[in-house]
Amino acid sequence: MTTLVTGGTGTVGSQVVVRLAALGQPVRVLTRSAEKAATLPEGVTGLLGALAEPSTLGAAFEGVERLFLLTPLAQDEVDQGLAGIEAAREAGVGRIVFMSVHHADQAPQIPHFASKVEIARGLERSGIPYTVIEPNSFYQNDLGLQQPLMEFGVYPMPLGSVGLHRVDVRDIADAAVAALTKDGHQGEHYPVVGPELCTGEGSAQAWAAALGSGVIYAGDDLDAWSLAASAMMPDWLVADLRVMFEHFQERGLLATADDFTRQRGLIGREPIGFDRFATEAAAIWKSQVAGA
């Protein structure tokens, strides 16, 4: 059965594509980039198009039986998600797995959390069998922090001290593939979380251990973070993420015992820890420096 993966060249989608291809499943990837389409794994079909351009979706969805719906963090995210659901309905897609956010419904003040909730409601109305996976914050978001970590010894992500059960994208991909390829998950919402709490200070310490050098936490000052982020991001995204970090600092993003039980039932193993992720990433970074 053919599976279409939107966002199939990104951090999570690419992992889902690799796993489906390894299972011998026919896979299509919807991408804006011809260059990225040319680098897809052997046997995976890249199709040019985008959820933001509904006129490109008909050909991409034709003959598709399963959809991994990954929507981007964008101002029109709801419109993009609903366009994907409508294209799936018109094409007769038999199963959708949608990636939302852990406890998105508990933080409607965060714009992109609210977008995920609205898209999930669209799925419920569509009549298409669906599953929602709800990952916590990705470990892999830290991969963009190589320079501050290695050159300045600073961990700048303002996570606060309450903590998040952050998660490895490899666990997210395994959850998505299980929901796509195995029966019994229709209508379910599955948390996807890591095994321990990650705080700002704790993350700095984990990176220090992995890198073998001193790393300090930059602190919880969101005014300072917003000013620095404004040099790299559009204003709307800085505002969105600031609200998210305010929520993390005040309430965290915490998993329950039931969350772990449900996740274990879906992926069949314990989740990957942050220390393992940081150690693996640090080894790659060090080898890059040594080879330069």
- Per-residue pLDDT of 231-289, as tens digits, reads 999 999 999 999 999 999 999 999 999 999 999 999 999 999 999 999 999 999 999 87
CA distances from 282 to 211, 227, 292 (A): 6, 28, 15
Exposed/middle/buried for residue 2 (C-beta within 10 Å: 0-12, 13-18, 19+)? middle
- Is the Cβ–Cβ distance between 215 and 199 less than 8 Å? no
* Domain locations along the chain: 3-128
- Give the chain's largest Cα–Cα span: 55
| pLDDT tier for residue 25 given thresholds of 50, 70 and 90 | very high
* Tokens of residue 105, six digits: 């419904």
| pLDDT tier for residue 292 given thresholds of 50, 70 and 90 | low
* Candidate CATH numbers 3.20.20.140, 3.40.50.9100, 3.40.50.10480, 3.40.50.720; the one for domain 3-128: 3.40.50.720
Neighbours of 184 (CB within 10 A): 10
Q: What count of residues does the chain have?
A: 292
pLDDT digits (tens, 9 = 90+) for 60-98: 999 999 999 999 999 999 999 999 999 999 999 999 999
The CB-side HSE value for 167 (13 A sphere, CA atoms) comes to 28
Find tokens 């914050």 and name the residue: 137
